[in-house]
Amino acid sequence: MTTYRDRAEAGRELAERLTDLAGRPDVIVLGLVRGGVPVARVVADRLGAALDVLVVRKLGVPWAPEVAYGALGPGGVQVLNEMVAGRISENDRAQVRRREQAELERREQRYRGGRPPLDLTGRTAVIVDDGLATGATARAAVQVARHLGAARVLVAVPIGSEQAYDMLAADADTVVSCQLPHDFAAVGAYYEDFHEVSDDEVTQALTATA
């Protein structure tokens, strides 16, 4: 398996797998906060595509937060897995929703910088992250993108687990991963530099010019 020097190098390799999208006016590259944004910046520049951020917050089961029963997205979008959500009391769901909504609004305000609300109507949305471990956030992002009007949704990552890839293949129109190691570890194991991306780095990546 290849180890990427950093997210920028990963973005360059990922862009090579997406050249059929280059120059298409309907394409918009969406970086998942936070680590996906530096990768998405490089991909968008290489494809000559618009770049934006997709802020998604998983709604986690209170006693098992890593298990998502739904997700929140911009513009009031809420996606629920009714089979799981139905097992949680309305009071517990309300608490989770309030907490995640507050964080979503904070991030939207911080990252959008006064830009208009995200509208994906008729667009080909390319959702980019720095890797897929469980795939839960990317899956939520696919569902949110469809609710925002995307005509086609792709998920593109430099590295991912086979399990996450297979799960996403059932939801997204296309899933692209440069590497799918059989013995997948954590995403950070495939990067020499996998520092935690700060809010300032996200903002700089979104406002940088190609």
pLDDT at 210 over 50: no
What tokens were used for 207? 């406002």
CATH 3.30.360.10 fits 7-56+117-207, yes or no: no
Instruction: For 64-97, write each residue's pLDDT tens digit.
Output: 887 788 888 888 888 888 888 888 999 999 999 9
For the CA atoms of 202, 207, 208, 209, what is the dihedral angle to 10 degrees? 150
CATH 3.30.70.100 fits 57-112, yes or no: no
The mean predicted confidence, pLDDT, of the chain is 91
Instruction: For 127-185, write each residue's pLDDT tens digit.
Output: 999 999 888 889 889 988 998 999 999 999 999 999 999 989 999 999 999 999 999 98
Choose between 57 and 75: higher pLDDT: 57
What tokens were used for 15? 């862009």
d(CA 145, CA 119): 9
User: What is the mean pLDDT of the segment spanning 102-126?
Assistant: 89
Q: What is the pTM of this model?
A: 0.89
The ranges assigned to domains in the chain are: 7-56+117-207, 57-112
Could you list the beta-strand ranges (E) of the chain.
Answer: 27-32, 50-54, 57-61, 64-72, 78-80, 124-128, 152-159, 174-179
pLDDT at 11 over 80: yes
